[in-house]
């Protein structure tokens, strides 16, 4: 019998904070409980599988006979970002957290990035992507300077208007950043964040691209592919693993496209 495994990672269903939450400013967090307060919250399939039967999850009625297996898991790796979490799911435990930059990136890093791209830098602060383009987008369009920002995760994000910096050029700039950001500044991901539109109605496009660190050791993807199994990534999974151990990649343009391609 041919069998396939679909491993789906869902955003926004965290069910509480871990003992090291204070290290990341997350004490008291419970994303699912917050989301469940919305009148739009509706998760019948997850409920049938046993989501609300997990100890401590009090966002909905328990199922008398859950259709799935369920439980509460805690990350062993140091760190809490996308890269570290996905690597751990695939069997790679990270002994040290990837670097984060709550005060922006060091001057020497940005100077080298500016030198190699030939463009000046705007922002250099932790900020949401929508805030970054709202605050700096008009200046970027006028000057051609790149908007560089970060977040609570280990990321170096570069935003640019598609009419000012063509996509392939933005991707090239991000590859340059990936070459620079190694060693002590080896962030988990460099992310291209293109946007379009006119001020004050700039909008991010689906042409995002991630450039991840290469996993330091083999993951289950390497083991499976080495034994002749197909390992097919959907969406940004290929980027998170830098392609390591993946036999086929299906890029996506948003959540709906991702669901359709998974089906």
Rounded to two decimals, the pTM is 0.84
User: Count H helices, E strands: the chain?
Assistant: 9, 8
Per cent of the chain over pLDDT 70 is 100
Tell me the pLDDT band of 253, cut-offs 50, 70 and 90: confident
Average pLDDT over residues 158-171: 99
Q: What residue ranges in 1-79 does DSSP mark as E strands?
A: none
Output DSSP code: residue 3: -
Domains contained in the chain, CATH given: 9-74 (no CATH), 78-95+216-263 (no CATH), 107-212 (3.30.70.1250)
- What does the pLDDT look like over 204-220, one tens digit per residue? 999 999 999 999 999 99
**Model confidence at 224: pLDDT above 90:** yes
SS3 label, residue 48: helix
Residue 228: per-residue pLDDT: 96
| pLDDT value, residue 49 | 98
List, for residues 61-105, the tens digit of each pLDDT value.
999 999 999 999 999 999 888 899 999 999 999 999 899 999 999
- Rounded to an integer, the average pLDDT of 160-164 is 99
Contact 203, 197 (CB under 8 A): yes
On the CB side of 87, how many CA atoms lie within 13 Å of its CA?
A: 31
Question: Rounded distance, CA 148 to CA 126, Å?
Answer: 9
Q: What is the pLDDT of residues 111-142, one digit of tens each?
A: 999 999 999 999 999 999 999 999 999 999 99
Output the pLDDT for position 167: 98
User: Which tokens belong to 193?
Assistant: 């964040």
Give the model's pLDDT for residue 3: 85
Question: Distance between CA 54 and CA 220 in Å, rounded?
Answer: 27
Say whether pLDDT at 1 is over 70.
no
In angstroms, rounded to a whole number, what is the distance separating the alpha carbons of residues 57 and 39? 18
**Residues 212-230, mean pLDDT to the nearest whole number:** 96
What rounded mean pLDDT belongs to the chain? Answer: 96
| Phi, psi dihedrals of residue 73, rounded to the nearest 5° | -120, 150
């Amino acid at each position: 019998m041919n069998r396939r495994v679909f491993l789906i990672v869902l955003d926004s269903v965290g069910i509480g904070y871990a003992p090291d939450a204070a290290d990341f400013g997350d004490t008291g967090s419970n994303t699912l409980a917050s989301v469940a307060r919305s009148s739009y919250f509706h998760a019948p399939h997850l409920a049938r599988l046993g989501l609300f039967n997990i100890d401590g999850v009090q966002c909905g009625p328990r199922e008398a006979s859950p259709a799935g297996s369920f439980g509460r898991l805690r990350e062993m790796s140091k760190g809490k970002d996308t890269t570290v979490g996905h690597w751990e799911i695939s069997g790679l435990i990270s002994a040290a957290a990837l670097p984060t930059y709550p005060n922006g990136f060091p001057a020497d890093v940005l100077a080298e990035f500016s030198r190699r791209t030939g463009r000046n830098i705007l922002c250099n602060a932790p900020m949401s992507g929508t805030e970054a383009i709202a605050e700096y987008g008009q200046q970027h369009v006028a000057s051609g300077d790149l908007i560089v920002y970060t977040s609570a995760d280990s990321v170096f994000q570069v935003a640019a208007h598609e009419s000012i910096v063509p996509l392939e050029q933005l991707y090239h700039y991000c590859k340059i950043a990936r070459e620079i950001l190694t060693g002590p500044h080896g962030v988990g991901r460099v992310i291209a964040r293109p946007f379009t539109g006119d001020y004050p109605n700039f909008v991010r496009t689906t042409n995002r691209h991630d450039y991840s660190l290469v996993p330091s050791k083999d993951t289950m993807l390497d083991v499976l592919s080495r034994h002749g199994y197909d390992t097919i990534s959907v969406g940004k999974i290929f980027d998170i693993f830098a392609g390591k151990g993946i036999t086929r990649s299906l890029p996506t343009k948003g959540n709906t496209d991702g669901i359709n391609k998974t089906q």
